[in-house]
Amino acid sequence: MAEKTTIARPYAQAVFEAAQEQGNLKGWSELLQLAAAVVSHEQVAAAIDSPSLDKAQRGQLVIDICGDAVTDAGKNLIRVLAENGRLSLLPEIAVLYEIERANAESRITAEVTSATPLSDSQKQAIAAALQKRLGRDIALECKVDEALIGGAIVRAGDMVIDGSVTGKLDKLSAALLR
């Protein structure tokens, strides 16, 4: 996975820079998501890997499936990726692009995993606290994991706050075993 990410990063950065110049961050985001979904489809992935198609045909296949959603610049990107044998990197490119876009727009998605469903007021309080701490707009993705017993785990970027009962019990257990 790390190798794919390393290879995909320059493409994602180039696309992001082009999107900024065009003032079209959202449009490129939608295009990359679509193209990533296309190349991730089982039958398309098999066709892309097939030796019966040359590089140009592989790129054209993806362009044709995406249809009118692909701009001329998007077609150029797909052709470059096809020529370099990198079409399968589109999902990684899309993820890295979204990270760049979120940073540029000063927003971050925080994943909150709680033992029970959160109320709207709890969600607002968590989002406000994270916004104050991180200085960014916060989008929450909430999940429920009853195995936590109580509390919650918050992941935002590379920050993790474990306020779960399970996490506290694990820390207590580790301290007692020392």
One-character DSSP codes across 72-90: HHHHHHHHHHHHTT-GGGH
Residue 104 near residue 144 (C-beta atoms within 8 A): no
| CA–CA dist 55, 68 (Å, integer) | 21
- pLDDT tens digit sequence for 68-100: 999 999 999 999 999 999 999 999 999 999 989
What are the structure tokens assigned to 144, written together?
């429920």
Q: Which amino acid is at 162?
A: D
pLDDT at 58: 94
- CATH for 2-102, options being 1.10.510.10, 3.50.50.60, 3.40.50.1450, 1.10.520.20: 1.10.520.20
Query: What residue has token string 């794919």?
Result: 4
Q: What is the mean pLDDT of the chain?
A: 92
- pLDDT tens digit sequence for 153-174: 999 877 899 999 988 888 898 9
- Please say if the pLDDT value at position 1 is more than 80: no
Mean pLDDT across 35-41: 95
Mean pLDDT across 117-145: 93
Q: Which amino acid is at 119?
A: S
- Please say if the pLDDT value at position 135 is more than 90: no
| CA–CA dist 16, 81 (Å, integer) | 15
